[in-house]
Amino acid sequence: WPQRHGGCPWWPRGVCAGTLNGLSVTGDAQHQYQTLHKMYNNCEIVMGNLEIVLIDHTQDLSFLQTIREVTGYILIAMNVFAALPLQNLRVIRGTQFYEDKFALFVLLNYNPNTTHALRQLGLNQLTEILAGGVYIEKNAQLCHVDTVEWRDIMRDPRLEPLVRDNGRACPPCHESCAGHCWGPGPEDCQKLTKTICAPQCNGRCFGRAPNECCHEECAGGCTGPLRTHCFACRHFNDSGSCVPLCPQPLIYNKLTFQLEPNPDTKYQYGGVCVRQCPHNFVVDQSSCVRACPNDKMEVEKNGLKICEPCAGLCPKACEGTGAGSKYQTVDSSNIDTFINCTKILGNLDFLITGLEGDPWRNISALDPEKLNVFRTVREITGYLNIQSWPKHMHNFSVFSNLETIGGRSLYNRGFSLLIMKNENVTSLGLRSLREVSAGRVYITENRRLCFLHTVHWAALSRSRADLDIRNNRPRSKCRAWGKVCDPLCSAEGCWGPGPGQCLSCRFYSRRGVPPCQPRRALRDPREFSQGGECTECHPECERIDGGATCNGSGADTCTRCAHYRDGPHCVERCPDGVLGERGPIYKFPDGSRECRPCHENCTRGCAGGRGHRGERDGRGLGGRAPTLIAVMVVGAVFLSCSLVLLALLYWRGKKIQKKRAMRRYLERGEPLDPSEKANKVLARIFKESELKRLKVLGSGVFGTVHKGIWIPDGDSIKIPVSIKVIQGWSGQQSFHHMLAIGSLDHSYIVRLLGICPGPQLQLVTQLLPLGSLLDYVRKNRGAISPQLLLNWCVQVAKGMYYLEEHRMVHRNLAARNVLLKSPSQAQVADFGIADLLYPDDKKYFYNELKTPIKWMALESIHFGKYAHQSDVWSYGVTLWEMMTFGAEPYAGIRLAEVPDLLEKGERLSQPQICTIDVYMVMVKCWMIDENIRPTFKELANEFTRMARDPPRYLVIKVSPPKTPPGPPRTPPNPPETLTQDSPSPHLVTKVSPPNPPKPLPNPPKSPKSPIPVPHPNQESGAAPPGEPPLSEKELDEVETLELEEEEEEEEEEELDGTFGLAPGLGPQRPRGSCARVRPPGAGGGLGMSPRCPCRVPAGASSRVPAMSPRCQLPCPHVPVVSPRPHDVPSCPLGVPAMSPQCQPPCPRDVPTMSPRRPLGVPAMSPRFQPRHVPVVSPPCPRDVPMVPAPLSPRVPVLSPRCQLRCPPRVPVLSPRCQLRVPPVSPRAVPSVPAPSVSPRVPPQSPSLLSAPAGYIPMNQPGLGCARQVPGAGGVWGV
Please identify every residue annotated as catalytic. Answer: 812
Rounded Cα–Cα distance for residues 578 and 598 (Å): 13
**Would the CA dihedral through 188, 193, 194, 196 be positive or negative?**
positive
For residue 1247, the 8-state DSSP code is: T
Buried b (16+ CB within 10 A) or exposed e, 1098-1123: eebbebbbbbbbbbbbbbbbbbbbbb
Rounded Cα–Cα distance for residues 763 and 755 (Å): 5
Find the angle CA(210)-CA(230)-CA(202) to the nearest 5 degrees: 40
Question: Which CA distances in Å does 749 have to 147, 788, 795?
Answer: 45, 18, 9
Beta strands in 881-924 (DSSP E): 907-908
Q: Name residue 344's beta-bridge partners.
A: 318, 380
Which helix or strand (DSSP H or E) is residue 977 part of?
A: strand 976-977
- What SS3 state is found at 128? strand
For residue 747, the 8-state DSSP code is: T
Alpha carbon 817 to its chain's center: 32
Question: Which CA distances in Å does 1278 have to 404, 689, 1047, 1241, 1261?
Answer: 101, 71, 14, 11, 13
Alpha helices in 525-634 (DSSP H): none
Q: Name residue 53's beta-bridge partners.
A: 77
Alpha helices in 709-805 (DSSP H): 732-742, 773-779, 786-805
- Report the half-sphere exposure of 700 (CA within 13 A, side-chain side): 18
Beta strands in 581-647 (DSSP E): 583-589, 595-597
Strands 527-530 vs 533-536: parallel, antiparallel or unpaired: antiparallel
Q: Residue type for 761, please?
A: L
Q: Is 312 left (phi over 0), alpha (psi -120 to 50) or beta?
A: left
Direct distance between the N- and C-terminal alpha carbons of the chain, in angstroms, rounded to an integer: 76
Strands 719-726 vs 752-756: parallel, antiparallel or unpaired: unpaired
Which helix or strand (DSSP H or E) is residue 648 part of?
A: helix 635-667
Instruction: Note whether 336 and 374 are within 8 A (CB).
Output: no
Alpha helices in 979-1078 (DSSP H): 1032-1056
The closest alpha carbon to 874, from 823, 939, 942, 825, belongs to: 939
Q: Name residue 439's beta-bridge partners.
A: none
Describe the crossing of helices 936-946 and 786-805 by its angle, rounded to 10 degrees: 160
| Torsion from C-alpha of 777, 779, 784, 786, nearest 10 degrees | 30
Q: Is 535 left (phi over 0), alpha (psi -120 to 50) or beta?
A: beta
Instruction: Note whether 1122 and 1089 are within 8 A (CB).
Output: no
- Report the half-sphere exposure of 398 (CA within 13 A, side-chain side): 18
Strands 1255-1257 vs 1265-1269: parallel, antiparallel or unpaired: antiparallel
Instruction: Give phi and psi for 705, each to the nearest 5.
Output: -105, 130
If one counts every other C-beta atom within 10 angstroms of the C-beta of residue 457, the result is 17
Describe the crossing of helices 868-883 and 936-946 by its angle, rounded to 10 degrees: 30
Buried b (16+ CB within 10 A) or exposed e, 1020-1032: bbbbbeeeeebee
